[in-house]
Chains A and B, each alone.
Chain A
Amino acid sequence: MPLVLTEEQSMLRDSARGLITDKAPVSHLRQLRDSKDEMGFSRDLWKAFAEMGFSGLLVPENFGGSGLGYVEAGVVMEEIGRTLMPSPFLSTAVLAVSALSRGGSEAQKSAHLPKIADGSRLAALAIDEGTKHRPLQINLQAVRSGNGFKLSGAKALVVDGHTADLLIVAGRTGGAAGDRNGLTLFLVDPKAKGVAIERTVMVDAHNAARIEFSNVEVDADHVLGEVDQGYQLLDGVLNIGRGAVASEMVGLSEEVFGRTVTYLKERKQFGKLIGEFQALQHRAAQLYVDIEITRSAVLKALQTLDGDFDHAGAAIAVAKARAGTTAALAVQEGVQMHGGMGMTDQFDIGFFMKRARVCQELFGDSNYHADQLARMKSY
């Protein structure tokens, strides 16, 4: 498949960009932050997203969605990255939908997917427990109890955790931390007894929560996929999430870069436009090359997810690692080249820097994915 967007994908990009730049420029995030908005995102905007079919983009058509692919999800994520629009798209429309449609029973799918597609239900994926992303180290205990399980443990950095109507929780039904076997995914009602959700105010003003589970009872038919065999499902869902976040970072990097190049053409010092200085020209050119390479790697990874899902691991590791390092460079150069202005809160660049930091960490940073790639290549 050619590494360029099809006409349909370009049209999707244009309509997403139209809506997002119109309704949710960076000032939208700023306003939510400054007003300490309780939800941390706009319900109205999510409704508009649903009306345009974005919330059900990955939902199969027989469950009320558009049944599109991961490249299309990436197209929307990239536009989200351009304005840093806070929305449940990643948590609900990408991660939860993927987990449900790849691992869910017919009953589970029909219970949740249509409501996600129409925008009325939000969901969150609860995985990480430690400081760094280590899915194999998941150790939330899920002990058999009667017909079902009792969950005890804690999760951190649950994206959109405090707004979710449904939690997808990874727990250990067997084995020990580090084992591939013994992981199980559960559908958990956030209002269930024993669930304590604390919204964490994050550096990037996006939503995340710490969630504690104390003897939370979960019925057996709320197991997503098979007991003890959840790792493969989780790994696939995480790869989708990684591809999506990498796309967001491509959008974010391009936006920061665009703003920076514009500034280089406007700002004068020593009687010259600063864009005339070779030191800055070369750094800008290097960043351009980095972004082009990363964009290619991310598109390649998403196409591989769509075309050969089970063998997409290496391409995803490359994409997430590249996108993380490129975004880090883009925001750093953005702030530096804007000089003192770049350091002010009044200026938008700092928002990009903060969001890039979170995206780097989400679902494994560049070091994590470099290590994964080395393991895949047996060295």
Chain B
Amino acid sequence: MSDLETFRRETRAWLEANCPPEMRRPMTSESDTYWGGRNAKFSSEPQRVWFERMRDKGWTVPDWPKEYGGGGLDRAEHKVLREEMAAMGARAPLSSFGIWMLGPALLKYGNEAQKKEHLPKIAAGLIRWCQGYSEPNAGSDLASLQTRAESDGDDYVINGQKIWTSYANYADWIFCLVRTDPAAKKHDGISFILFDMASKGVSTKPILLISGYSPFCETFFDNVRVPKSHVVGTVNRGWDVAKYLLQHERAMISGTGERGIGRPLGQVAADSVGSDDSGRLDDAMLRGQIAMFDIDEAAFAAVAERAIDLAKAGQSHPAFSSAMKYYGTELNKRRHEILMSAGGIDALEWESDRSKGGARPRAWLRTKANSIEGGTSEVMLGIVAKRILDLPGA
């Protein structure tokens, strides 16, 4: 038996023994997950148990080095772990922008002190992070951001406003793009900086969305003092860090949603609309839509697998994450349109115990942001057109 097969067997056994049954059911909403942080609360005992066991193994971040609180798994082992978790429907023990976005950027661009300071806390879920990228007039045109950081001795003094800051009102720290050289060309005067959301001069205001939730905030900085040592990478070269991080964000968003987890759409639809005598869904058009969706979803799973294999073989294009982000988010929107259609009248209920507080329509509305956040579908297509297809202009 190969080492990998042994690893698979042991991993499966450990997961079986340690993942509580409650943590093997699909999540009902984005809030039904553990985000960590200074003020974190577990929504249930099984959630706490599952998180702590995984944390102790370093498996909140299985592929990070052990010295930074990770599991030290290589690519193949990490894949095995993901597959075994997916096979039993095990939830991620910790949801975290620190894991998905900041961590990879720090591993690549952070200095040793920054890595030692922040990575273990991310792995252990001690600090909840938010991202300060977008501004009211710098959304898709991110590099035109205006929040400025002025040098004052050993500190920067930061003034400006961010928007669409996901969960800023719950976050402990922020990773933030600021303009450190207003005279430079727009990509050349930006720095990537980290600071505590409890700093004097930081305030947040939630934005209510069409889903009835407010996962986003407006975030204001009024003379916030931040030590210069908190800049990640080189001053004025923050755009490199930002771009690298965006690739991870796009990869994360392209995998948004319950794809591959939970009950197949065809079964969900059969439960609500019924089947005819030959076992076919009693709505031929809906059946066709679901079948076409299943085809595209399976094909997308293949391209996601191939993207990893190409990267391993050194054959991937750096802009390919934009292609994945575009298609993955459009697919997720389609999935939720079908879920709404399959649910019919029952899926329209907004506030009731029966509908778990309108979980399905709220999730449907939430997906509409997928093709906007992290770069719109149009921006992604523009990147593919210019960087991969080398089409002219702009």
Asked if A379 meets B269 with Cβ closer than 8 Å, knowing A3-B309, A281-B382, the reply is yes
Q: Which residues of chain B have C-beta atoms less than 8 A from A370's C-beta?
A: 288, 291-292, 294-295
Asked if A4 meets B315 with Cβ closer than 8 Å, knowing A284-B391, A285-B389, A288-B389, the reply is yes
A292 and B323 CA atoms in complex are apart in Å by 9
* A residues adjacent to B (C-beta < 8 A): 2-4, 261, 264-265, 272-273, 275-276, 278, 281-282, 284-286, 288-289, 292-297, 299-300, 314-315, 317-319, 321-322, 366-367, 369-371, 373-374, 377-379
Q: Which residues of chain B have C-beta atoms less than 8 A from A3's C-beta?
A: 302, 305-306, 309-310
Name the one of A2, A4, A321, A378 contacting B295, with C-beta atoms under 8 angstroms.
Answer: A321
A20 and B64 CA atoms in complex are apart in Å by 47
A288 and B324 CA atoms in complex are apart in Å by 11
Question: Does B381 lie within 8 Å of A285, measured CB to CB?
Answer: yes
Instruction: Tell me the chain B residues, 285-321 only, with Cβ under 8 Å from chain A.
Output: 287-288, 290-292, 294-296, 298-300, 302-303, 305-306, 309-310, 312-313, 315, 320
The total of interchain contacts (Cβ-Cβ below 8 angstroms) comes to: 141
Q: Which residues of chain B have C-beta atoms less than 8 A from A369's C-beta?
A: 295
Q: Which residues of chain A have C-beta atoms less than 8 A from B279's C-beta?
A: 378-379
Question: Does B295 lie within 8 Å of A281, measured CB to CB?
Answer: no
Question: Does A288 lie within 8 Å of B384, measured CB to CB?
Answer: yes
Residue of A nearest to B327 (CB): A289
Q: Which residues of chain A have C-beta atoms less than 8 A from B392's C-beta?
A: 265, 273, 275-276
Q: Does B266 reach chain A (CB closer than 8 Å)?
A: yes
Instruction: Tell me the chain B residues, 368-394 only, with Cβ under 8 Å from chain A.
Output: 378, 380-382, 384-386, 388-394
Asked if A264 meets B315 with Cβ closer than 8 Å, knowing A282-B385, A300-B302, A379-B275, the reply is no
6 closest A-B pairs by beta carbon, nearest first, are A379-B266, A276-B393, A281-B385, A370-B291, A297-B299, A3-B306
Distance between A370 CB and nearest chain B CB, rounded to angstroms: 4
Some 24 contacts from A to B, beta carbons below 8 A apart, are A2-B313, A265-B391, A272-B393, A275-B393, A284-B385, A285-B381, A285-B382, A285-B388, A286-B326, A288-B384, A289-B326, A292-B303, A292-B323, A293-B296, A293-B303, A295-B306, A296-B302, A297-B298, A321-B295, A366-B295, A373-B291, A377-B266, A379-B275, A379-B280
Distance between B277 CB and nearest chain A CB, rounded to angstroms: 14
A295 and B303 CA atoms in complex are apart in Å by 8
Q: Does B281 reach chain A (CB closer than 8 Å)?
A: yes
Dominant secondary structure at the B interface: helix
Distance between B370 CB and nearest chain A CB, rounded to angstroms: 16
Q: Which residues of chain B have C-beta atoms less than 8 A from A4's C-beta?
A: 306, 309-310, 313, 315
Question: Does B309 lie within 8 Å of A261, measured CB to CB?
Answer: no
Q: Does B21 reach chain A (CB closer than 8 Å)?
A: no
Question: Does A275 lie within 8 Å of B391, measured CB to CB?
Answer: yes
Distance between A253 CB and nearest chain B CB, rounded to angstroms: 13
Q: Does B92 reach chain A (CB closer than 8 Å)?
A: no
